Structure 1
Amino acid sequence: MVVKFKMKTRHAENLASIFRVLRKYQLRLNPEKCSFRVKAEKFSGFMFTRRGIEANPEKCNTIIDMRNPKSMKEVQQLTERIAALAHFLSRIDLPFKQILRKLDFGGENDRMGSRVI
């Protein structure tokens, strides 16, 4: 869970409000995974900007720079990388999932990959 506030001055008040809601619904956080007052632009593989949470350009470039998948394992690697960006790319990996179902590499599937990328 990421919580971001517009005004730093009310940080403690806002966190107290968040913790009240968590207690109300009996939700718990893992203290080892909690970070507070993080000022970094990158956090946990995502970019935090004034516009909100955005895809990390490094993750996007990894996908863009990949060669066309030639095996089932390479298609699986591609779908895993796309899944990491799924929040930002709704339904983009469907053609690749169709490829995995058919287990046919080349021809029609190369054209499908070219259309998506």
Structure 2
Amino acid sequence: MPFGLKNDGATYQRAMQKIFDDMLHENEECYVDDLVVKSIKRKDHPKDLLEVFEWLRRYQLKMNPLKCAFGVTSGKFLGFLVLRHGIEIKQAKIDAIVALAEPRNIHELKSLQGKLAYLRRFISNLAGKC
């Protein structure tokens, strides 16, 4: 697929979802070109990896070995820190919002809203009144 098309990301995502349909959300997560193979039990991880590799080979997809990490219990995925017990946000993202000055115009307010939307799953009662 040629790069630079407006819909190339969405098209690629749909293709990946079709390829990994049986594995998605069970032992594999995929977002465009980011792929995470997850296993509940450590002993199942080699089998889960092998299954993903077989699908990649079947559809002639290649991975960059320099961007791969195998057998880890935590790592970055889509800007979040994925841990065994759940996901966390990087402290630097929180510090950046705390350090922001009060919005002075509509553009700065919308920028703040966008940053808060990114963190909304980590802030209880974000939409509630103070």
Q: In the superposition, relative to structure 1, how do residues 26 and 42 fare at CA in structure 2: closer, same or farther (>3 Å)?
A: closer
> Segments of 4+ in structure 1 off by > 2 A?
41-46, 49-58, 68-71, 77-80
Pairing of 1:46-61 with structure 2 (within 5 A): 46-61=80-95
Matched, 1:26 2:53: no
Identify the structure with the greater helix proportion. Answer: 1
Do 2:37 and 2:48's aligned partners in 1 also have CA atoms closer than 8 Å? no
**SS of corresponding position for 1:63:** helix
Q: In the superposition, relative to structure 1, how do residues 18 and 67 fare at CA in structure 2: closer, same or farther (>3 Å)?
A: same
The Cα of 1:65 is off from its aligned counterpart by 2.4
Matched, 1:11 2:48: no
Which fold has the larger relative contact order, with Cα–Cα distance below 8 Å and residues 6 or more apart in sequence? 1
In our comparison, the structure showing a higher alpha carbon Rg is 1
Tell me the distance in 2 between the aligned counterparts of 1:60 and 1:2: 25
Identify the structure with the greater strand proportion. Answer: 2
Tell me the distance in 1 between the aligned counterparts of 2:120 and 2:63: 28
Residue 76 (structure 2) aligned to one of 43, 52, 57: 43
Do 2:75 and 2:81's aligned partners in 1 also have CA atoms closer than 8 Å? yes
TM-score after normalising by structure 2 = 0.46
- What is the number of residues matched between the two proteins? 87
The Cα of 1:78 is off from its aligned counterpart by 6.6
**SS of corresponding position for 2:81:** strand
Over the aligned positions, Cα root-mean-square deviation in angstroms equals 3.5
Deviations 1:44-103 (A, max 9, x none): 6422134544433431332232124669xx89x8799x4xx85x659xxxxxxxxxxxxx
TM-score after normalising by structure 1 = 0.50
Could you tell me the percent identity over the aligned residues?
34
Gapped regions of structure 2 (runs ≥ 5): 1-34, 122-130
